[in-house]
Chain A
Amino acid sequence: MTQKAEFDQRVKQALDNPQLRRNFRVTMDGLMEKRDKAFPDKAFLEELRTIGANIRANALARQPELLEQLEANCTRNGIQVHWAETIEQANRIVLDIMERHHATRMIKGKSMVSEEMQMNHFLEAKGKSCVESDLGEYIIQLDNEAPSHIIAPAIHKSKQEVARLFKAKHPDIPYSEDIDTLTRSARQILRRKFHDAEIGLSGVNFAVAETGTLCLVENEGNGRLCTTVPPVHIAVTGIEKVVEKLADVPPLLKLLTRSATGQHITTYFNMISSPRKPGERDGPKEVHLVLLDNQRSRIYGDSELFDSLRCIRCGACMNHCPVYTRIGGHAYGPPIPGPIGSVIEPQKFGLENFGVLATASTLCGACGEACPVRIPLPKLLHRLRYEQVREDRTGATIGQGSQRSGKEALIWKLWSWIHATPLVYRSATRLASLFRNRIPNRIGPWSQVRTTPRIAPKSLHQLAREEGFKHE
């Protein structure tokens, strides 16, 4: 099946599910409202966005140097740094650490990069158990699903579905639809897992080069447990998450939490700067940082697409996207959905696999307007549309030109010729007006839900002439 057909199928599945559509609509409306309320002063918001964009742009501009600094400072702090060019290498690094410790049980905090790596599948195939400890992640793991939103992975499920799922997977706990009860049950189950795990894994929100500090933003406390209870902590992150200095973190954090959930501050903000030191009573004995490239350097090489690396993964672009709201995260396919996913994932996994996502946008601009670090998302989506049909194949994007079809190209050539040649255009419109009643009433899927537009008896060109408007 072509990527388009596969996408269409997933879209259809989502659109045909009324429960799913209601869940998304209600939740996204709520999140948009919360963000709006979190920024009562719009001038302040714009100022903060500029600050955030500059911090991220600056960090990217100096990325190679900052990464070196990060490595040096982490190492000095006792954090072991690993570089992975590919997903395979990153998985391998994690596996090696586990094997070195004869570890079989991993407890995980939320990490989109581990989704990108499909780490759970990889490790499980090697006989390791990986338990998600973020409540949302845990729920979808029970159902063998991928996250549907980057900050709210189980957003597509109603509490009834979750209740049934819990009962099916844990028959010994009493059935309940009460959210507090469900949360308590999950906590009971997970507590044991924290205790037993030999390895704790987390993502990273900001990696501070200046100090070698890993910052982790979370609400449930599971992140803190993952990074302190097991004897070994592994943090995985994309290389673009590096920032220059500690002072850069507060503005970004402010933007992140308010854009994501409207929170002024999260319940937990972890700063990890070293493993347990002699004399300290808790914390892991070893901390590892895995820095994943997976095409990011390639994206980095393009002066325009480069901007997509600014992302701080707040999810606001999804929350505000009218397409995401209708189809939900799973319809997109790759781990990161929504506008930023449609920009970044085709670049990581190839236009030949996910280029269709760039066309699944009206370019309405709601995402770009919401993005706290001012990523010009519509412009980048547009650029990828060009990349997938361009002929010269000189650009850096994987799968460039792969979606070019002879038929479509011919249609646009013809269209271009008509509209670049005034005489031809005028003859064509005159013909269209003349035969307006012979034009079929049904034009494909358009007319399944809309009446077909009618061509006017006289074009504006004609009316303007008749009404005496000069033409030069």
Chain B
Amino acid sequence: MSLTKQYPGKPEKVYFFGTCLIDLLYPQAGLAGMQLIRREGVQVIFPQDQTCCGQPAWNAGYREQAEAVVLNQIRCFPEEYPVVVPSGSCAGMLRNQYPELFRDKPEAQQVERFSKRIFELTEFLVHVLKIELKDLGQPTKVALHASCSARREMDVAGEHEALLQQLENVQLVEQVRKAECCGFGGTFAVKHPDISAAMVADKAQAITDTGADQLVSGDCGCLMNITGHMEHQGVGPKGQHIASFLWERTHDPKS
């Protein structure tokens, strides 16, 4: 966890960027992220016109096609509120790749201002909201898979861990080669299915070997890949997005 990053004070309002994968496949994770923020007394706005950060096209080399999508997202977040993203990968795209994509274009300044407002969910919870979690769940062993973009691009693997460590009944177990990629890589899994399969098999094995009851990740792409493989093989723990996991363990349904 980097100590050199600069963070603003707690804002009154934030925008939430749900990501397309969460929108369609894991909406509960997005909702949990929003609830975690709202519980801290911050108003969460979810612009209904948002769609996808544009990363799929960008990564495939289709920059012009990504640009149109990017401009649509920027339009959705007009006010100067922070934009919170429950994914290291999409947050990395919004924060680091957008300025890259528009470097020599007339929108460059506008894009850069937008990108500066991007926060990955766990870094926002830890550094901006300074959240304190009270664990209401049963004792459990959890393996964490921080995505490559969370770890390297956003440098928030430490924030993932810090949040899990706040939970009293959660024991965080470590997998071998924990920093190694799970083999998803968006279109990589489609274009090079054999290599991807070899990678995810090893990752699933490493996670299963920890004896964890649950797998937690801050990125739904990795979750879809790893838990998809574990389910297919009928081994390994169940997977959950870190936001759902945190919310479920700290939320009293009666309150």
- Identify the A interface with B (CB < 8 A): 8, 11-12, 15, 21, 29, 322-323, 326-327, 359-366, 368-369, 379, 382, 385-391, 408-409, 412-413, 415-422, 425-426, 429, 432-433, 444-456, 458-465, 467, 469-472
A sample of 15 cross-chain residue pairs with beta-carbon separation below 8 angstroms, ordered by A number, consists of: A323-B195, A362-B184, A362-B186, A364-B180, A365-B151, A365-B152, A408-B60, A409-B62, A413-B65, A456-B26, A456-B27, A456-B28, A460-B23, A467-B35, A470-B44
Contacts of B71 in A (CB 8 A): 420
Q: Indicate if the CB atoms of B51 and A364 lie closer than 8 Å.
A: no
* Size band of the interface chain B makes with A: 35 or more
Contacts of B149 in A (CB 8 A): 365
Q: Indicate if the CB atoms of B188 and A419 lie closer than 8 Å.
A: no
The distance in angstroms between the C-alpha atoms of A364 and B44, with both chains bound, is: 31
Please tell me if B166 contacts chain A, counting CB pairs below 8 Å.
no
For B9-38 the 0/1 string (1 means CB < 8 A from A) is 000000010101011111110110011001
* A465 to B: closest C-beta gap in Å: 7
Contacts of A462 in B (CB 8 A): 27
Q: Indicate if the CB atoms of B43 and A444 lie closer than 8 Å.
A: no
Selected from B60, B177, B184, B201, the residue in CB contact (under 8 A) with A412 is: B60
Selected from A326, A420, A467, A472, the residue in CB contact (under 8 A) with B45 is: A472
Q: Indicate if the CB atoms of A416 and B45 lie closer than 8 Å.
A: no
Q: Indicate if the CB atoms of B46 and A464 lie closer than 8 Å.
A: yes
A359-B188, A420-B68 known; A471-B61 Cβ under 8 A: no
For B225-242 the 0/1 string (1 means CB < 8 A from A) is 100110111000000000
- Determine the residue in chain A with the shortest Cβ distance to B20: A419
The distance in angstroms between the C-alpha atoms of A327 and B149, with both chains bound, is: 23
- Determine the residue in chain B with the shortest Cβ distance to A416: B65
Q: Indicate if the CB atoms of B192 and A460 lie closer than 8 Å.
A: no
The distance in angstroms between the C-alpha atoms of A432 and B38, with both chains bound, is: 29
The distance in angstroms between the C-alpha atoms of A413 and B23, with both chains bound, is: 21
Q: Indicate if the CB atoms of B194 and A8 lie closer than 8 Å.
A: yes
* B243 to A: closest C-beta gap in Å: 11
For B43-79 the 0/1 string (1 means CB < 8 A from A) is 1111111111010110111111110110110001000
Contacts of B22 in A (CB 8 A): 460
Q: Indicate if the CB atoms of A420 and B72 lie closer than 8 Å.
A: yes
Q: Indicate if the CB atoms of B184 and A359 lie closer than 8 Å.
A: no
* A144 to B: closest C-beta gap in Å: 26
- Determine the residue in chain B with the shortest Cβ distance to A8: B194
* A27 to B: closest C-beta gap in Å: 14
Contacts of B72 in A (CB 8 A): 419-422
Selected from B46, B51, B185, the residue in CB contact (under 8 A) with A361 is: B185
Selected from B25, B48, B63, B201, the residue in CB contact (under 8 A) with A453 is: B25
Contacts of B192 in A (CB 8 A): 8, 11, 359-360
Contacts of B195 in A (CB 8 A): 11, 15, 323, 326-327, 360
Selected from B18, B65, B190, B228, the residue in CB contact (under 8 A) with A461 is: B18
